């Protein structure tokens, strides 16, 4: 079986991190976002993953090649020279996908439990052209709602940002299609959600399957951190042994074995600390991701923030409110950073008291 992962975007919502690396290989819970998806696909027998790529394809290829060998999977690249939306990449990769077998399609910034085996079985059972996963949301008026028959899962219509309640299930960005869908799509900028799906539903060829458990689009900092918390709490329920524990740890916390945590720290809940990081004495971390090689200074307090690769935070710093440090950013001692988005290779010597982008 094959799968296509849509990685063509520029990752603008997750800047400044994506100024250094493409979004799919930003580490989420100490593993590149896209590896969560590729590993789950491998487990159910997918042997080739096609990446519909636009931004920095050479960097992504170099990063993923060792993992392809380790997992025993072929990773192919379909290179968009111009953005083709969410449907055009399928047509561009037609020769790679059109082998008569169903294939998966995923948005690259989705995190969940990836129940691909259940999705495949359900798709084969109803026998139609396509199946999309849907997830429940609390405020459906913010999204495009999928209206479907509860008894069989057949999709009736899509309602964009409904002002009156029509349902609370939205597209989760995970699909499986028969290869016949390729006949519906041309290699030009096309929205699969707005142009292809409504026609498939009209033809009675599109079904949906509700996704159980957590789901999050982690493509922007606030949702990245929220998704991290959901993911860590899912691990806590299902495989608590993979999480970190011990004095000064408030679960769930995930710390790479190569990280150094000095005495007197209090870490968690909902914290991930990457390889070769250092957390100095007395630091307090809450709902935060610390990427590889970063250092948190003595007695600093960091909440709801993402600390970029090789960045340093001085002593007695307070940082909060979805602050994001790009790669190699340095925060001087005793500063306050409130919602700062700081581009790579900057040194900050004065407080950021209101949210702003520091160029």
**Do 65 and 138 contact (CB within 8 A), yes or no?**
no
Q: Which residues 6+ apart lie within 8 Å of 147 measured at CB?
A: 155, 156, 157, 158, 159, 166, 167
Please, which contacts does 229-237 make with residues 24 or more away whose CB atoms are closer than 8 Å? 229/269, 229/270, 229/287, 230/111, 231/28, 231/29, 231/111, 232/29, 232/269, 232/270, 232/272, 233/270, 234/113
With 0-12 / 13-18 / 19 or more C-beta atoms within 10 angstroms meaning exposed / middle / buried, residue 349 is exposed
Residues 6 or more apart whose Cβ sits within 8 Å of residue 206: 128, 129, 130, 131, 132, 154, 155, 197, 200
Distances (CA, A) of 219 to 99, 196, 288: 32, 24, 16
Residue 139 tokens read as 């405020």
HSE-up (13 A, CA, CB side) for residue 208: 26
Q: Which helix (H) or strand (E) holds 134?
A: strand 130-136
Nearest to 140 by CA among 164, 168, 172: 168
From the candidates 161, 199, 222, 238, which is the catalytic residue? 161
User: Using an 8 Å Cβ cutoff, are 127 and 162 in contact?
Assistant: no
161 is catalytic: yes
Q: Report the greatest alpha carbon distance in the chain.
A: 63
State the angle between helix axes of 57-71 and 33-43 in degrees (0 to 180), rounded to the nearest 10.
40
Cα atoms found within 13 Å of the Cα of residue 238, Cβ hemisphere only: 9
Which positions are annotated as active-site residues?
161
């Amino acid at each position: 079986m094959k799968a296509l992962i849509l990685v063509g975007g520029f990752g603008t919502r997750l800047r400044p991190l994506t100024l250094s690396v493409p979004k799919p290989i930003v580490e989420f819970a100490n593993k590149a976002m896209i590896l969560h998806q590729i590993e789950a696909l491998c487990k159910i027998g997918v042997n080739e993953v096609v990446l519909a790529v636009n931004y920095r394809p050479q960097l992504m290829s170099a990063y993923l090649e060792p993992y392809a060998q380790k997992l025993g999977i072929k990773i192919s690249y379909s290179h968009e020279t111009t953005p083709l939306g969410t449907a055009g990449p399928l047509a561009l990769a037609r020769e790679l996908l059109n082998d008569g077998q169903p294939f998966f399609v995923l948005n690259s910034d989705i995190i969940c439990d990836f129940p691909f085996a259940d999705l495949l079985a359900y798709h084969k059972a109803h026998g139609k052209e396509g199946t999309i996963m849907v997830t429940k949301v609390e405020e459906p008026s913010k999204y495009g709602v999928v209206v479907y028959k509860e008894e069989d899962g057949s999709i009736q219509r899509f309602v964009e940002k409904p002002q009156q309640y029509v349902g609370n299930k939205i597209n989760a960005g995970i699909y499986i299609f028969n290869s016949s869908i390729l006949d519906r799509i041309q290699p030009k900028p096309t929205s699969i959600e707005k142009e292809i799906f409504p026609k498939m539903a009209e033809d009675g060829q599109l079904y949906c399957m509700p996704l159980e458990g957590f789901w999050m689009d982690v493509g922007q900092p606030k949702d990245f951190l929220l998704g991290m918390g959901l993911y860590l709490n899912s691990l806590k329920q299902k495989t608590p042994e993979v999480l970190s524990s011990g004095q000064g740890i408030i679960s769930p916390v995930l710390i790479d074995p190569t990280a150094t945590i000095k005495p007197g720290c209090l870490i968690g809940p909902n914290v991930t600390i990457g390889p070769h990081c250092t957390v100095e004495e007395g630091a307090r971390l809450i709902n935060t991701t610390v990427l590889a090689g970063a250092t948190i200074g003595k007695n600093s307090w960091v909440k709801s923030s993402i600390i970029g690769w090789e960045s340093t935070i001085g002593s007695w710093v307070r940082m909060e409110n979805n602050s994001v440090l790009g790669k190699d950013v340095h925060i001087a001692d005793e500063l306050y950073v409130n919602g700062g988005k700081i581009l790579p290779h900057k040194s900050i010597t004065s407080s950021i008291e209101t949210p702003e982008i520091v160029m």
